[in-house]
Amino acid sequence: MDYQSLFAEALYQQLRDQLDQEKVYQLIEKPKFTEMGDFAFPCFELAKIFRKAPNQIASDLAEKLELPPLFEKVEAVGGYVNVFLDQTEVSGSVVAEVIQAKDHYGTMNHGNGEVITIDFSSPNIAKPFSMGHLRSTVIGHSLARIAEKNGFEVVRINHLGDWGTQFGKLIAAYKLWGNEEKIREKPIKELLKLYVQFHDEAERDPSLIDEGRLWFKRLEDGDQEAHALWEWFRDESLKEFNSIYELLGVTFDSTQGEAFYNDKMDRVVQLLEEKKLLEESDGALVVQTAEGMPPCLIKKKDGTTLYATRDLAAAIYRHEIYGSERSLYVVGNEQTLHFKQLFLVLEKMGYEWSQGLKHVPFGMMLKDGKKMSTRKGKVVLLEEVLKEAVSLAQQNIADKNPSLPDQERVAHQVGTGAVIFHDLKNHRLNDVEFSLDAMLKFEGETGPYVQYTHARASSILRKASYRVNAAQLMFSDDTAWAVVKCLMGFPEAVTRAFEGNDPSQIAKYVLELAKSFNQYYGNVRILDAVEGRQEKLSLVHAVQIVLKEGMYLLGLEAPEEM
């Protein structure tokens, strides 16, 4: 039940001539201190309308408000109308609602089954899956689950970077210095060495750049040797990528990369010509976008295509195949201009659905304050980080709980969870400094802390031989109120996370719930309680349910034991 909406409705009945209901709802605040109530309505904006002091307006409103029985009292304090919920009634109602709904608690129907495509991860073929790729992968994976929680049908797309001039450079490097045996033994490591060597040599011999362009032109023209090498590099890369995705628990509905759209770009160029949007500029073909913004390059002077051409083809194809009216592109903020141009060109082409396209940018993963660079070989491999995290988790389990069953599986859950949570607890627009030490801490604001809290709740329920009975829950004291209020906030956090494309809203929420529950656990005797035992255990069960669902939305697993 949305108690804030009930309060907003009561206020609106008194203010319908001055404010609309949505505005009333938005103005409601949640006081930091319990003694100030559960919800507060500030009257300062009404002072000019009523030509009265805010405290007088608050006093008048408090007298007239007709609140439902679930509210215990209302009072005017300064310029605020503060209301207090009936803790006994509401606690029982909230806990029962969570237990009955189980993992459906907090599920919203904003999407009403509408299809949304989410383009995320999208690593480049023939390059290692580094920590730099982690952000798009885990942010996109979490947003997909959050969108489903909000009632959307999600199509997960991995738009692989399997085309472009870098493949011409790589083929040129292989022809000059490559060793087939070494590549077959350690494909990605050797391909990275070739890629780095190419750029080192090109600084001394710029003619290599032309050689790389020539090989890419041959690839585009269907040259048999170039295509065979490209396909080999692609297949080896996909094997490595899939092992990483398996470690992270990430899945996709489509892995059609840039190359898939090679035969679909002529149609795009034709459509642009028909709509008289194409212009020639220094031998290249461009589309003018907006004042103060550079034109969108469609074809280079040598006839090769670009990212924009493929992304236009991909957007049209996805809309036609999936019928999606909304699409998210989870791509770093350095591509902001590209997506502005892309969306403007689609709009100029007359596609109304282009209004539903959104770039979801994010900050960089930094190492020592600097961007990681594949070209210069300055990368931290994600697979190595994940394996080290799992190894550390195994060591912690061996030290602290050596009799734990299925240690390998729990170590995997905790280690990967630590890496994912370290990223998602930050707002996506912030840069994240790569720090293995910070990432793998098992105390404080970390994934393992939240997972351990869930395991603690599970342990309590096991020891108590808990059986669900949420029909008549009457909480007789106020010790549980902070936890109950936190549980009430989960649906709102789910909505906020979707509307802001911001998984950190869920990460912050589960941290808050974990802290609130651990404080409750530290102050209340649960297992040996006689009075209110069923209520206490039911509260533990509700926390267990919501923590598990919150972690699921982030892409973390929830161990029953740790």
pLDDT score, position 380? 75
Q: How confident is the model at residue 556 (pLDDT cuts 50, 70, 90)?
A: very high
- Separation of alpha carbons 161 and 97, rounded Å: 46
- Separation of alpha carbons 264 and 66, rounded Å: 62
Mean pLDDT over residues 551-559, rounded? 98
pLDDT score, position 420? 96
As given in the structure block, the two tokens for residue 357 are 């396209």
- Separation of alpha carbons 524 and 526, rounded Å: 6
CB 310 within 8 A of CB 345: no
Q: How confident is the model at residue 307 (pLDDT cuts 50, 70, 90)?
A: confident
Residues in the chain: 562
Model-wide pTM > 0.85: yes
- Separation of alpha carbons 101 and 342, rounded Å: 42
Mean pLDDT over residues 47-72, rounded? 95
- Separation of alpha carbons 125 and 129, rounded Å: 9
Side-chain half-sphere CA neighbours of 160 within 13 A: 22
Place of tokens 């092992």: 243
Q: What is the mean pLDDT of the chain?
A: 93
Q: Which of 118, 111, 112, 108 is nearest to 144 (CA)?
A: 118
As given in the structure block, the two tokens for residue 321 are 């195949």
CB 433 within 8 A of CB 423: no
Pairing label, strands 357-360, 296-299: unpaired
At 200-219, the pLDDT tens digits run 999 999 999 999 999 998 99
Q: Which residues pair with 118 in a beta bridge?
A: 156, 328
Amino acid identity at 107: T
Mean pLDDT over residues 413-433, rounded? 93
pLDDT score, position 384? 86
What's the Cα-to-Cα distance from 345 to each of 273, 277, 294, 500, rounded to whole Å? 12, 9, 12, 25
Mean pLDDT over residues 302-306, rounded? 72
Give SS3 for 374. coil
Q: Which of 265, 347, 263 is nearest to 310 (CA)?
A: 265
pLDDT value at 441 more than 80: no
| Residue of 374 and 557 predicted with greater confidence | 557
Mean pLDDT over residues 289-298, rounded? 92
What is the chain's alpha carbon radius of gyration, rounded to the nearest angstrom? Answer: 28
∠ CA 87-88-93, rounded to 5°:
95
Q: How confident is the model at residue 100 (pLDDT cuts 50, 70, 90)?
A: very high
Q: How confident is the model at residue 60 (pLDDT cuts 50, 70, 90)?
A: very high
Q: Name, in order, each residue with C-beta under 8 angstroms of 208's C-beta and a sequence gap of 6 or more.
A: 169, 172, 198, 201, 202
Sheet (strand 71-77) strand order: 39-42, 80-85, 71-77
CB 512 within 8 A of CB 455: no
Place of tokens 């161990």: 559
- Separation of alpha carbons 302 and 122, rounded Å: 27
pLDDT value at 305 more than 80: no
At 360-384, the pLDDT tens digits run 999 988 877 777 665 555 667 888 8
- Separation of alpha carbons 125 and 141, rounded Å: 20
CB 159 within 8 A of CB 257: yes
- Separation of alpha carbons 202 and 25, rounded Å: 61
Query: In this structure, what are the phi and psi dihedrals at residue 40, rounded to the nearest 5 degrees?
Result: -140, 140
Q: Which of 242, 217, 215, 243 is nearest to 229 (CA)?
A: 215
Place of tokens 């995290």: 389
Sheet (strand 432-433) strand order: 370-371, 365-367, 432-433
At 102-148, the pLDDT tens digits run 999 999 999 999 999 999 999 988 888 888 789 999 999 999 999 99
- Separation of alpha carbons 446 and 435, rounded Å: 13
Q: Give me the percent of the chain exceeding a pLDDT of 70.
A: 98
pLDDT value at 478 more than 90: no
Q: Which residue segments constitute the domains of the chain, with CATH numbers given?
A: 3-85 (3.30.1360.70), 120-371 (3.40.50.620), 382-554 (1.10.730.10)
pLDDT value at 58 more than 90: yes
Place of tokens 């697993």: 557
Alpha carbon distance, N-terminus to C-terminus of the chain: 34
At 172-205, the pLDDT tens digits run 999 999 999 999 888 888 998 999 999 999 999 9
∠ CA 307-311-316, rounded to 5°:
155
